[in-house]
Structures are given as C-alpha cells and as structure tokens.
Amino acid sequence: MDLQTASQINDFLAAFVLLGAFGMLTQKRIYSLIHLFAWQGFFLSVNIAIVAYAAGRHHLYISSILTLSLKVILLPYILHTLVVKLKIRKEAETLVNIPATMLIGIALVIFSYYLTAPVTELSRLITRSTIAVALATVMIGLLMMITRKHAVTQIIGFLAMENGLFFAATSATYGMPLVVELGVALDILIAAFIFGIFFFHIHTTFDSLDVEQMTRLKEGD
C-alpha cells in the first residue's frame, strides 16, 4: 500500500468517525447511541491500524488493539448491561433541539479546521488532513455532554471525546508514547468503573438517570 492510498483511506475512515459523532448528536434512543459509539470506535481502530501499517509505526498497533478492545467491545458491553439492568429505554428531552445542535456541530467543524490550520501546515505526516476532524470529534463530544441531560448520554459524549483525543494523537503525531497511551487507557477503565457505580447511585437516589433532576445545589436562595 503506497502512502497516497493510505492517506486516502485514512481520510475516508476519518469521515466515518465524524459521521458517527454527528449520528450520536442526533440520536435519542440509548441503544442506538451505544451502537453508534461502538461503530465510531471501530472505524477509529481500523484507521489507527492502517496508519500503523502505512507509516511502519508498530506501537500504533497496540493503540489500535486498545481502542478495539476498550471502545468497541468492553465499554459498549458494560453500558449495554447497565442500561438493561436499569431498564432505560429512551432518554429525556434534549436541552437544545436537534436541528439546532446539528448546526452548532457544523459550526464546530469549521471552527476546528480554522483552529488547526497552522498545525496542519507544519505537519509532514500522511495523516495531517485529519487533525481538524479529530478536534471536531472532540468538540462534538463536548457539545453532546452539554446539551444532553441524561447520565448515560453524557458518559457516551465523554467517551466519544476520548475517541477524538486518541484520533488526534494518531493524526498529529502518529500516537503518543506508548506509556502515555497505556496510562490514558487505564484512566478510561477506572472512569468506566466509576460511572458504573454512579449509575446505580443516581438511579437509587433519584429514581431515574435524568440529570435534570439534580438541581438542589443551585446558587442562592
């Protein structure tokens, strides 16, 4: 596979990662959200593997396997089990309506291209054109966390952000040093453990996972 083809496949898969992000932004049903999240992780991990092959960076294979096992298999499985156990079907209303969040999402993509322009210009890597897409994925994850008022959706937004960060590390620098990537993956695992506990706590205390009910700690009187 020559670099030209690798670069094109990379762009193509990046488009799917971004599409996954937008899909999550519009999706209201929890099961579909988890599936979309798993697909996004899948495209990301294939993408990382291709970069690893084309650029000959073997440590990226580990990063790809980490993404595959964590983001595609383990985390969606945990989320799925929790959702089944807590009997959640559909999430509550979003804070901003969906067409509006889509428009904000598009604005964020343009903003990301603008922001990363100097980095892209300096880079000589085959993946340089996807740095902006990676930042956009992070931003859209952030947007999802802000606009959704359901604990599970917020967590999926958080994990989608992490996907974007792994993607950014791959496209800007062919991945962070291995010790750092492993550490980040460990942190995500601990976070998964914590939000699992949290879902139960919130569910037993508030009788639903709707974060909107958590308004007791308002400022003032």
Partner 1 sequence: MILLILLGVPLFAAVVLAFVGDRRLAPEVNIAGSAATFAAGVALALRVYEQGPMTAGGKFFFVDAFNVYLAVLTAFVSMTTAIFSRRYMRREREHGRVGHVGMRFYHAMFQLFIFAMLLCLLTNNIGILWIAMELATLSTVLLVSLYRTPTAIEAAWKYFILCGVGIAQALFGTVLLYFAAERVLGEGGDALLWTNLSQVSDKLEPTVLSLAFVFLMVGYGTKVGLVPLHNWLPDAHSEGPTPISAVLSGLLLNIALYALVRCKTLVDGSTHSHRAGDIMMWFGIISIIVAAFSLLRQKDIKRMFSYSSIEHMGIATFAFGLGGPIATFGALLHMLVHSLAKSSIFFTVGHASQMHRTQEMDRIRGLIKGNPLVGWGFMLGAMAIIGMPPFGIFTSEFLILTATMKDAPLMTPFLLLGLGVAFAAILRKVQFMVSGDAPSYQRPLKAAHLPVLVHMALVLLIGIYMPDFLNQWFHKAVEILR
Q: Contact residues for partner 1 (CB under 8 A)?
A: 115-116, 118-119, 122-123, 135, 138, 142, 145, 151, 154, 158, 161-162, 165, 168-169, 172-174, 176-180, 183-184, 186-187, 190-191, 194-195, 197-198, 201-202, 205-206, 211, 214-217, 219-221
Structure-block tokens of residue 4: 């030209």
CB atoms within 10 A of CB 37: 26
Collapse the DSSP code of 169 into the 3-class scheme (helix H, G, I; strand E, B; otherwise coil) and give the result: helix
What is the nearest approach in angstroms of partner 1 to the Cβ of residue 18?
A: 16
Q: Which is nearer to partner 1, 14 or 172 (CB)?
A: 172
Nearest distance from C-beta of residue 162 to partner 1, angstroms: 7
Q: How far is the CB of 66 from partner 1 (least distance, A)?
A: 14
| Least distance CB 27 / partner 1 (angstroms) | 20
Nearer to partner 1, 99 or 118 (CB): 118
Concatenated DSSP letters for 18-66?
A: HHHHHHHHH--BHHHHHHHHHHHHHHHHHHHHHHHHHHT-THHHHHHHH
> Closer CB to partner 1, residue 5 or residue 220?
220
C-beta of residue 209 within 8 angstroms of C-beta of residue 86: yes
CB of 136 to partner 1, least distance (A): 12
DSSP state of 90: B
| Cβ neighbour number for residue 182 with a 10 Å cutoff | 14
The full length of the chain comes to 221
Our CB check for partner 1 shows the closer of 93 and 212 to be 212
Nearest approach, Cβ of residue 214 and partner 1 (Å): 4
Cα 189 from Cα 138, distance rounded (Å): 19
Q: What share of the chain is helix, strand, coil (3-state, %, to 5)?
A: 80, 0, 20
Residue number with CB closer to partner 1 (56 or 99): 56
Q: Between 5 and 193, whose beta carbon lies closer to partner 1?
A: 193
